[in-house]
Copies of this chain bind each other. A is one copy, B any other.
Amino acid sequence: MAEKSVKNIFTQGAIEPVFISDSIAKHSSKTNIGAHSIFLGQVRKDVIDGKDVVAIDYTTYEEMALEKMHEIREAVFAKYPLACMHIRHSLGKVDAGKICLFVFTSSAHRKVAIEACEEVVEKIKAELPVWGKEIFEDDTHQWKENK
């Protein structure tokens, strides 16, 4: 296992839109890229049993999550001719309306960027040991489950 190339993907709190635009801007020197695909997860103000979700509090098993993300990254790079992939996931409290997940893939052509992005999103949802606690307006909570 190439431990040294395991990258951090976690950010405390929400992912700010300016982080996303900075990330996009950094690719203007990579002139072999023709297509970027971006997925953003945003915390929904769901209503559950009559109560609004006001935030989600994310926790992880960080060491295992980063190793798993490294595996996902390697598998997706092996499958698709990607130029780059960047991932950020929030930890801690993210308010409704804020961004909690950023998946960004780039390639020469659109099909590759789009398919790879979707595949990474699905793998993150299914395989990363991350848990979201939905916090209601009255400070009660429930544990989220991915569909």
Report A's interface with B, CB cutoff 8 A.
17-18, 20-22, 24-25, 27-45, 96-99, 106, 108, 110, 113-114, 117-118, 121
Residues of B within 8 A of A98 (CB): 28
Contact yes or no, B97 A24, CB < 8 A: no
Oligomeric state, in copies: 2
Q: Is the interface of A mostly helix, strand, loop or mixed?
A: mixed
Contact yes or no, B32 A44, CB < 8 A: yes
Measured in the bound complex, the distance between the Cα atoms of B97 and A37 in whole Å is 15
Contact of A37 among B17, B35, B39 (CB under 8 A): B39
- What is the chain B residue whose CB lies nearest that of A108? B44
**If the complex has contacts A20-B21, A22-B17, are A39 and B28 also in contact, measured as CB distance less than 8 A?**
no
